[in-house]
């Protein structure tokens, strides 16, 4: 637990927001504001930091609201990454502080590192082709998941064979230079991601399966603690690497 407690504003108070409240309370922090559709647009007055887990269409307005108020913000909502350049500009213009991640689970971020290492090993193995499969609960709005997109991005960065990613749909096969992603939305599944490299002779699969939301919630609170005294734009990789 951190020595300094924080006053936290929560933007998004669904199941994830409630899990973050639990994690924050366990670590000695207090929730001073809970924002949902009934009080959307409420500024983070009195908060030391904001944590944003709302909806894709609300993420940018919430980021702007907090940055213009001078309150650091941790962003876990996905589905807005096409606007990443605009967010970087906003952080610079406001001299603000923002940390974003497609997934705040410590285990998933270690999985990201494993994915990159395996991709580098596979780059010279032309017989192997890759695919990503992800499964989430029915309430998840974006597909593929932000985590799957991060995994695919890291694959095409580490491998000369891939130039991007494409969602695999019935009756349509992605181009050979695109990482294929298959998405499933089933019941209350917290999140499962699998990366498979397959050749005519065999296949290698690495999988991360979340048991619940609490790992994501704790990671988001740890990220908020790490932001104290920092200015700029960061990711979960900075937190785990201990970067200044």
* N residues, the chain: 244
Residue 157: closest CA among 125, 123, 134, 128? 123
CA-to-CA separations, 119 to 154, 156, 183, 202, 205, in angstroms, rounded:
8, 9, 21, 16, 12
Residue 160 CB neighbours (<10 A): 9
Q: Which residues contact 166 (CB under 8 A, 6 or more apart)?
A: 174, 175, 178, 179, 180, 181
Residues involved in catalysis? 136, 140
Are the C-beta atoms of 116 and 162 separated by less than 8 Å? no
What whole-number distance in Å separates Cα of residue 122 and Cα of residue 211?
Answer: 29
Residue 108: closest CA among 242, 240, 243, 244? 240
Are the C-beta atoms of 30 and 5 separated by less than 8 Å? yes
Q: Which residues contact 122 (CB under 8 A, 6 or more apart)?
A: 128, 130, 159, 197
């Amino acid at each position: 637990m951190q020595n300094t407690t924080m006053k936290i504003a929560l933007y998004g108070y669904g199941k994830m927001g409630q899990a973050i409240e639990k994690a924050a309370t366990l670590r000695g922090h207090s929730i001073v504001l809970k924002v949902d559709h009934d009080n959307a647009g409420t500024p983070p007055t009195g908060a030391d930091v904001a944590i944003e887990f709302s909806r894709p269409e609300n993420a940018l307005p919430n980021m702007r609201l907090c940055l213009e108020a001078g309150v650091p913000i941790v962003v876990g909502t996905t589905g807005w990454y096409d606007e990443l350049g605009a967010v970087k500009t906003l952080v610079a213009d406001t001299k603000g502080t923002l940390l974003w991640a497609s997934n705040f689970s410590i285990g998933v971020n270690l999985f990201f590192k494993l994915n990159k290492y395996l991709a580098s090993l596979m780059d010279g193995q032309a017989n192997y082709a890759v695919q990503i499969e992800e499964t989430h609960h029915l309430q998840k709005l974006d597909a593929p998941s932000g985590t799957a997109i991060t995994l695919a991005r890291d694959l095409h960065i580490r491998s000369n064979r891939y130039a991007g990613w494409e969602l695999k749909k019935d009756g349509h096969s992605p181009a050979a230079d695109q990482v294929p992603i298959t998405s499933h939305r089933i019941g209350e599944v917290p999140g499962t991601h699998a990366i498979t490299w397959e050749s005519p002779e065999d296949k290698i699969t690495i999988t991360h399966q979340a048991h619940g939301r609490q790992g994501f919630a704790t990671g988001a609170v740890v990220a908020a603690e790490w932001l104290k005294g920092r200015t700029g734009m960061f990711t979960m990789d900075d937190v785990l690497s201990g970067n200044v």
